[in-house]
A and B are shown apart, each in its own frame.
Chain A
Amino acid sequence: AQRVTQPEKLLSVFKGAPVELKCNYSYSGSPELFWYVQYSRQRLQLLLRHISRESIKGFTADLNKGETSFHLKKPFAQEEDSAMYYCALRVDSSYKLIFGSGTRLLVRP
Chain B
Amino acid sequence: DAGVIQSPRHEVTEMGQEVTLRCKPISGHNSLFWYRQTMMRGLELLIYFNNNVPIDDSGMPEDRFSAKMPNASFSTLKIQPSEPRDSAVYFCASRSQYSVIHFGNGTRLTVT
Chain A interface residues toward B at CB < 8 A: 6, 34, 36, 42-46, 49, 86, 95-102
Contact = CB atoms under 8 A, between A and B. Distances in A.
Interface string B17-32: 0000000000000010
Interface of B: 3-4, 31, 33, 35, 41-45, 48, 50, 55-56, 91, 93, 95, 100-101, 103-106
A6 B42 CA distance: 10
A46 B42 contact: no
B100 A96 contact: no
A96 B45 contact: yes
Contacts of B48: 95-96
B81 to A, nearest CB: 28
A98 B56 CA distance: 13
A43 B41 contact: no
Contacts of B91: 43-44
A49 B30 CA distance: 21
A45 B103 contact: yes
Given A99-B35, A101-B43, 5 more contacts: A44-B91, A44-B103, A46-B100, A49-B100, A97-B33
Contact of A95 (B4, B42, B50): B50
Given A43-B105, A95-B50, A102 B100 contact: no
Given A49-B100, A95-B31, A96-B48, A42 B105 contact: yes
Given A42-B105, A43-B91, A44-B103, A101 B45 contact: no
Nearest to B106: A43
A102 B56 contact: no
A43 B102 CA distance: 9
